[in-house]
Amino acid sequence: MRELVLGIEGLALLRSAIDADDAFLEARVAEIRKFAAGGDEGMPGAGAPVSELDESTGYASWAKRYDSLPSSFLQVEEPIVHRLLDEGPVGTALDAACGTGRTTVALAERGYRTIGVDQSPQMLEQARAKTPDVDFRLGRLEQLPLEDASVDLAVSTLALTHQPALGPAVAELARVVRPGGRVIVTDLHPFVITLQGQCLFVHGDDELAFVRNHVHLPGQYIEAFTAAGLTVRACYEPAFNGSLSPGGYEDYIADAARAAWDGIPIVVVWDVVKDAK
């Protein structure tokens, strides 16, 4: 954790070196010296072991806590996704890698006949509690349990980042959508993954963990969409909104964290259409 905090402090210093006032720069240098010397008293998560978990294990552990903390990623992503859902036309929709069902709820509320798919039984349990009338199915992004051309809209939010390669999952989303139908994909922005790396969560009682995020550049998305017969209608890149998780390690160094992420796009939203045949 100390190394993560030092990295954020250094990024804040790098980005502010030209334009910030002397007091801000001196504060960053002072905190870097303190943390480098081991001064991490009171730092959330200091000394906790950090483990990398696979998707099944990670999301089984994360499921009950997933909705409990505010997330700047969701805060900037959801208004764009909801606006795209409002465009319709309302029909049969798939929420692929639906997790705890936040987007499933948004689809159902708008009148879509909704199918939710996720590889985690624990996540599906949380989703069913929110929208018990939705057709939830156990399955993976790379092998969706749906027939060809069976939905009008496929949505996948903040999930493809866990795929080592985009091609198989994008091809599956395209396969289940009817010609002329839409696909909406959101993901952590490759810029913020490159800088920030992984999203930590509490695993067990005193351990931190993450599920690996992979960097997918915009050109790789476009290549995968094109190969799957999808055409990009629009791309949105909302920036960090200044919100930090209360009590987290970034909140512990809030001035540095906000300066480090200021103006950086943290989510990418793709609105694409399946080519008509």
Mean pLDDT along residues 105-122: 96
In a domain, 81, yes or no: yes
Rounded to 10 degrees, the C-alpha dihedral 139/141/144/149 comes to 150
Q: Please write the tens of the pLDDT for every residue from 219-246.
A: 999 999 999 999 999 999 999 999 998 8
Tokens of 192: 């913020």
Q: Pairing relation of β-strands 267-274 and 177-188?
A: antiparallel
- Flag whether 132 is in a domain: yes
Q: Which residue has the tokens 């978990």?
A: 53
Q: Is residue 195 part of a domain?
A: yes
Instruction: Identify whether 32 is part of a domain.
Output: no
pLDDT for 111 equals 96
> Tokens in use for 119?
């590889």
Partners of 211 in the β-ladder: 53
Over the stretch 53-94, which tens digit does the pLDDT of each residue have? 888 888 787 777 777 655 899 999 999 999 999 998 899 999
Residue 258 lies in a domain: yes
What are the tens digits of pLDDT across the range 166-214?
999 999 999 999 999 999 999 999 999 999 878 877 777 778 888 889 9
Residue 5 located in a structural domain: no
Whether 13 is covered by a domain: the verdict is no
Share of the chain above pLDDT 90, in %: 73
Confidence band of 13 (pLDDT split at 50, 70, 90) = very high
Residue 138 to residue 234: CA distance in whole angstroms: 30
Contact 13, 29 (CB under 8 A): yes
Q: How far is CA 90 from CA 111, 151, 214, 220, in A?
A: 7, 11, 32, 30
Distance of CA 136 to the CA centre of its chain: 21
- Flag whether 242 is in a domain: yes
Q: What's the CATH number where 101 sits?
A: 3.40.50.150
What residues make up the domain containing 87? 48-274
Both tokens of residue 31? Answer: 């905190």
Provide the domain count of the chain. Answer: 1
